[in-house]
Structure 1
Amino acid sequence: MKEISTKYGNFIPQHTDNELRRKEILPITYHASGAVKSLPLEKQALVTTPVGDIPAELITFHSNGGINRIFPLNGKLSGYWSQDDEAALAEPVTIETPIGSITARIISLSFYENEALRSVTLWPGDTVSVSTPVGFLEVRIGISFTPDGKVSSVEPAKPAHVETPAGVITAFDPDAVGVNGDENSLVFDKNGEVTRVTTTLTRLKAIHPDGAVSVFTPATRESLCSEAEEEIVPMTVFINGPEVAIRTKANQPPTRVPREKHVFFTEPYLPQLANSLEMMRCSV
């Protein structure tokens, strides 16, 4: 099989399959310019990247030849090969990030066209402690960075109290899905200010100029555990320059409240305490 040449070396593309993990031979794809876009490898190979040497079974590239994403494993999940089977093959790797070294099992790494690290996606169940604009946090699923190396977003692994222009909000999204680490529920701007945060544990109040008070709390939905049970729907708060926007339901637009002449404050929202400290969640 002819090797494929890239700026990171020559690699043998996948040309055989496996009845359990790799049930089909994935094709090499190309950009319109003719540059390689997606390269599945025959065997896991060590690739020297800007953040360290990373094992890879699949590499995707930007049109300029730089790595877009690198996947240490690329097995196909099925009734015969589960996520747990694939995860058992994952080995911890150490990468050099803008906020220091991280050692964890990695689903993928993403890079900008200038080769700066864009995001880290962790295997389900894995967490790392990282420095963020709101202090050290235990993070799951993913971490993303700006092109100049600042933390852009993280997915808190457990409830964390964070300061925002709308008050202290307990950040945690129990519904977070780890497709990739590019976008996460706790988001920062270039100055490190919180611009988006998701919570099930905080109530937000806005006092209007006329003295009226608007109260925003996470909604509820029928639990997947039982029709007789309800579970909390995460509420998302957006701080967009001159306004605060609050979305209490995913299928509804947020309510927008100007920051000017309004006073915001927060308080704990703990309806779970009425049901043995925590309502059942079968969705996670």
Structure 2
Amino acid sequence: MQTISTQYGDLIPQYTDDDLRKREILPVEYHPSGALKSVPLETQTVIATPAGDIPAELVSFHENGTISRIFPLNGKLSGYWSQEDEAGLAEVLTLTTPFGLVRARILSVSFHDNRIMRSLTLWPGETISVPTPAGPVETRIGVSFTREGKVASLEPAKPLSVPTPAGEMTVFDPDAVGVNGDRNSLVFDEDGKVAQAVTTLTRLTVVHPDGHHESFIPEYRESLCGDSDREVVPMTVCFGKKEVSIRTNPDSAPTVLPRVGHVFFAEPYLPQLASPFGELRCSI
């Protein structure tokens, strides 16, 4: 047993592993400079953060000593301890975010080194309403913020129509993984315009300088359920200041086209009509 002093108070690192959740003693880590990087805690400890008081079992730090990420729970999932067991310990927290108060069960909260909230990661099944340049959005998994506190990205809880430089696109990623809320399907640039949209319900057509048309639609893959079923793969479209990047398959290189000289327009695309036998997506 030892005590580590931080600007958030004294913390006691984990030194026992005698329960179902903590089956090993995790190490305290340090940055190359010698500054504290992360510390698993022996017992859940309430820490005063810029977002409010948060009970913590694992905390990581920036080199300047400010909190990088804080986890209210840090149990190890196994055959003896499931995600449902861990979720049963999760408390509803009231946190101050850049857009106001939020009440939800939280997997983790991260901060920039200037103490502004960087991202909020929600427990599976939790949703919050987030005000964005595209209007209020019901959000799952998480939301991220710029160093100035503006909404940078989020994961829509259901298909959402948003304005883009190509017109209205329906954003939703059925493959979104809720590890953290740092990177999400719907991304905004510094001006509040849509910079990235992940979709399974939009066709993007490009008119090239010579007048010919080229269309991009989400591709298909064999379903994780097997039995020769197919499911649609989300298509990612990124709108840069000078070019547009289109990726129809996460395993292939994107098609990158300059904005100058090309015309981009979006229209609805219904995969179930292209695949009349339907699609089946497994939960994993």
What is the rounded CA distance, in whole Å, between the counterparts of 2:39 and 2:277 in structure 1? 49
Larger mean CA deviation between 258-267 and 201-210 belongs to 258-267
User: Residue 6 of structure 2 aligns with which residue?
Assistant: 6
Number of equivalenced pairs: 284
1:154 aligns with 2:169: no
1:87 aligns with 2:92: no
Aligned-pair distance for 1:85?
A: 1.0
Distance 1:65 1:190, change over 3 A: same
SS in 1 for 2:85: helix
Deviations 1:97-139 (A, max 9, x none): 1111111111111111111110111111111111112111111
Matches within 5 A, 1:63-78: 63-78=63-78
Matches within 5 A, 1:104-183: 104-183=104-183
Deviations 1:217-257 (A, max 9, x none): 00001112233211000000011112211110111111122
What is the rounded CA distance, in whole Å, between the counterparts of 2:236 and 2:120 in structure 1? 23
Q: Output the TM-score relative to the length of structure 2.
A: 0.96
Partners of 1:15 and 1:42 within 8 A in 2: yes
Matches within 5 A, 1:242-261: 242-261=242-261
Aligned-pair distance for 1:283?
A: 4.5
| 4+ residue segments displaced more than 3 Å | 273-278
Aligned-pair distance for 1:43?
A: 0.8
Deviations 1:45-88 (A, max 9, x none): 11000010001011111111100110000100111111111111
Matches within 5 A, 1:216-227: 216-227=216-227
Aligned-pair distance for 1:275?
A: 6.6
Partners of 2:200 and 2:271 within 8 A in 1: no
What is the rounded CA distance, in whole Å, between the counterparts of 2:163 and 2:39 in structure 1? 43
1:266 aligns with 2:266: yes
Matches within 5 A, 1:37-52: 37-52=37-52
Distance 1:4 1:125, change over 3 A: same
Larger mean CA deviation between 29-38 and 116-125 belongs to 29-38
Deviations 1:198-230 (A, max 9, x none): 000101111123221100000001112233211
Distance 1:276 1:71, change over 3 A: farther
Partners of 1:175 and 1:283 within 8 A in 2: no
What is the rounded CA distance, in whole Å, between the counterparts of 2:211 and 2:32 in structure 1? 59
Aligned-pair distance for 1:278?
A: 5.9
Q: Output the TM-score relative to the length of structure 1.
A: 0.96
What is the rounded CA distance, in whole Å, between the counterparts of 1:76 and 1:213 in structure 2? 52
RMSD after superposition: 1.6
Partners of 1:166 and 1:244 within 8 A in 2: no
SS in 1 for 2:252: coil
What is the rounded CA distance, in whole Å, between the counterparts of 1:139 and 1:271 in structure 2? 24
Larger mean CA deviation between 79-88 and 220-229 belongs to 220-229
Q: What is the identity, as a one-letter code, of the residue corresponding to 2:213? A: V
Aligned-pair distance for 1:10?
A: 1.1
Larger mean CA deviation between 163-172 and 262-271 belongs to 262-271
What is the rounded CA distance, in whole Å, between the counterparts of 2:252 and 2:277 in structure 1? 29
SS in 2 for 1:45: strand
Which ranges in structure 2 are unaligned for 5 or more consecutive residues? none
What is the rounded CA distance, in whole Å, between the counterparts of 1:104 and 1:13 in structure 2? 27
Q: What is the identity, as a one-letter code, of the residue corresponding to 1:65? A: G
User: Residue 60 of structure 1 aligns with which residue?
Assistant: 60
Identity across aligned pairs (percent)? 62
1:204 aligns with 2:204: yes
User: Residue 190 of structure 1 aligns with which residue?
Assistant: 190
